[in-house]
Amino acid sequence: MTDLSSINLNRLATFVAVVEAGSLTAAADRLGLAKSMVSKHMQMLEQEIGVGLLLRSTRKLSLTEAGRAFYAASKQLLKAAELAVEQARSGSESPQGTLRVACPIDYGLIVVSPLLAQLRARYPALKIDLTCGDHIIDLIAEGIDVTVRLGKLADSGLMATRVDQLVRWLVASPAFIARHGMPRTPQDLPPLPHVALSVLAQPAQFSLTDRAGKQVDVRMLNTAFSSNTAYATRAAALSGDGVLCATTFSVKDDVAAGRLVRVLPDWTLPESDIHAVYPATSHVPQKVRVFIDALKAATAG
C-alpha cells in the first residue's frame, strides 16, 4: 500500500492550479505565490510520488500520461477533503471556503451577482467564484458547487431545488409600438419584426393562452435580430428592433420605467421553473445551502 505520509495536500492543490491555469506563472498569480515556490512544489510532488507529471518547454506546459490521470484523481481528492472540512464545520453558523456558482449570463448579472455580494457581506469567511455562460456546464468536471438552470431540467442524476418560477412576457419599445402599432390579437404578431434568442429550440415560435384558456400557436415570420445571449436581445428590444419574448426578471424594471411595454398583456406564455442544481451527495455543503436559501428568499413574491 502506498505511503501517503509524505504527500502534501497543498502541493496537490498547487498541481491542480497549474494544470487549470496552463502555466506556472498563471498558477502563481492565481494562488498568490512566487513562481519559484510553485515550481518547487511541483518538483517536490514529482519526487514524492516518483512519477513525472509535467512536460515543460519554453513555449508551453503539458501533462504526461501519468499526470493526466493524477490530475483527475487530485481534483476528486481535494473535493473530498473540502467536503470533509465542511462536514466538520457544519455545526458552525458561518459558511467558509469558496462557493463556486454557475448560471446563465443575464440571470447571473441581474439576480445572482448582487445576491452573492450580499452573502459575502454576511459571511466574510466565504469566497465566491461565479461563472456566467449560456451553455450547460458540467458541474463535476468543472468543480462547480451549484448552478442555476432555467426551464425544464434534463435527467442528469444531479440534485435540484426549485428556487423560482420562470415567467416570460412579450415586450417591445414605445418607439417600436409608435411605428408599427400595438398588436391587438396574436394574429397581429407574425409579420412584425421579431427579436429572437437563438439558443432556444424554436426561437421564432411560441404559444399564447388567454384568460379563458384558449391557446394560440404563433410563428414569427420576420426575425430582424437574433443573438445567443438574452442580454443582447434585451438591448435590441430597447433599441426598437422588434417584439421580444423575454424573462420577467430581465425586463420587469424596463417595463416599470416605461423603457419597454408589454405586448398582449392579457395573453400568457407557458411558464416553467428555475432550479438550483448541485451534485448528489449525502451532505449538502453549508455554503450551498445558504446560497439556495438566500436565492429562494430573494425571488419570493
Same domain, 137 and 210: no
- Provide the percentage of residues in the chain whose pLDDT is more than 70: 92
Counting beta carbons within 10 angstroms of the beta carbon of residue 141, is it exposed (0 to 12), middle (13 to 18) or buried (19 or more)? exposed
43 within some domain:
yes
- Single residue among 28, 51, 78 that ends a domain in this structure: 78
105, exposed or middle or buried, with CB in 10 Å at 0-12, 13-18, 19+? middle
Is the pLDDT assigned to residue 7 strictly greater than 80? no
Q: Provide the domain limits for residue 43.
A: 9-78
The CB density around residue 14, as the number of other CB atoms within 10 Å, is 26
What is the pLDDT averaged over residues 31-37?
Answer: 85
Same-domain status, 260 and 289 = no
Q: Note whether 175 and 260 are same-domain residues.
A: yes
CATH for 17: 1.10.10.10
Q: Give per-residue pLDDT as tens, 262-296.
A: 999 999 999 999 999 998 776 788 899 999 999 99
The arithmetic mean of pLDDT across residues 244-264, rounded, is 96
* Together in a domain, 60 and 153: no
Most confident region among 40-44, 47-51, 257-261 by mean pLDDT: 257-261
Q: Which CATH number fits the domain that encloses residue 120?
A: 3.40.190.10
Tell me: do 158 and 292 sit in the same domain: yes
Whether this prediction's pTM lies above 0.75 is answered by no
Highest mean pLDDT among 37-41, 89-93, 173-177, 273-277: 173-177
- Is 172 part of any domain? yes
Domain shared by 265 and 279, yes or no? no
- CB contact set of 211 (below 8 Å; sequence gap of 6+): 266
Structural domain contains residue 45: yes
The count of domains in the chain is 3
Query: Is 92 inside any structural domain?
Result: no
- CATH number of the domain enclosing 249: 3.40.190.290
Task: Give percent of the chain with pLDDT exceeding 90.
Answer: 51
The whole-number pLDDT of residue 114 equals: 94
| 118 in the same domain as 159 | yes
Pick the range with the lowest mean pLDDT from 90-99, 223-232, 270-279: 90-99
- 180, 243 in Cβ contact below 8 A? no
Sign, CA torsion 278/120/116/77: negative
CB 189 within 8 A of CB 243: yes
Q: Are residues 248 and 286 in the same domain?
A: no
- What does the pLDDT read at residue 2? 55
| 236 is a domain residue | yes
Distance CA 160, CA 288 (A): 12
> Helix or strand or coil: residue 142?
helix
Examine the domain organization and report whether 279 and 254 are in the same domain: no
Within-domain flag for 217: yes
